[in-house]
Amino acid sequence: MDSYVSIRLLGNEDGLLTIECSATSWGFTGKTHVYTSFKELEKWAGELERLSLVAGQSAAFHAGERDSYAFLGITISVLDSVGHCVCHVAIESNRALTFESKNKLEAELRTEPSAVDKFLLELTTLVQAGYGEAILLGADQM
């Protein structure tokens, strides 16, 4: 079963970034486009860099607002002293529906420290270069 979280920079208009986030876990898939800034992505990258292998620590990123146009929430938490991690993703789509409801997905995927390190490198490169994609692979992809 393929599981991953992908963040791709789609556009940059005067510092307002449009990012696309896709998440797949255990057969569930979701995608959204949200607005954020380089500053917010840098802040999250710094939190991920300081994340040590102590159970209970986490680093979170949020963009958009729940129950509005679009929302993205990603939290990476350390499960144990070996460094096993879980990534919790909450996505709300900005696509309008014909009835009073929203497209929403909440999913979790397990990952390893090496995958988090690779994701951090890709996220940092995305912020510095101003384009690109960062992918966090689930443990089933390792």
- Given a cut of 60, whether residue 36 has pLDDT beyond it is yes
Q: How many domains does the chain have?
A: 1
pLDDT at position 121: 97
Q: What's the number of CA atoms in the CB half-sphere (13 Å) around residue 94?
A: 15
Q: Sheet of 16-25: strands edge to edge?
A: 28-36, 16-25, 4-13, 133-137
- Round to whole Å and give the CA distance between 105 and 113: 25
Alpha helices (runs of H) in 1-142, residue ranges in sequence order: 38-50, 113-129
Q: Which of 59, 58, 61 is nearest to 19 (CA)?
A: 61
> In the chain, what percentage of residues exceed pLDDT 90?
75
78-124 tens-digit pLDDT: 999 888 999 999 999 866 655 555 688 999 999 999 999 999 999 99
pLDDT at position 131: 92
Residue 78: which domain range? 4-141
pLDDT at position 68: 82
Tell me the three state secondary structure of residue 57. Answer: coil
pLDDT at position 14: 87
pTM: 0.90
Q: Which CATH number is 112's domain given?
A: 3.30.2450
What confidence tier does 43 reach under pLDDT thresholds 50, 70, 90?
very high
> Side chain identity at 73, as an amino acid letter?
G
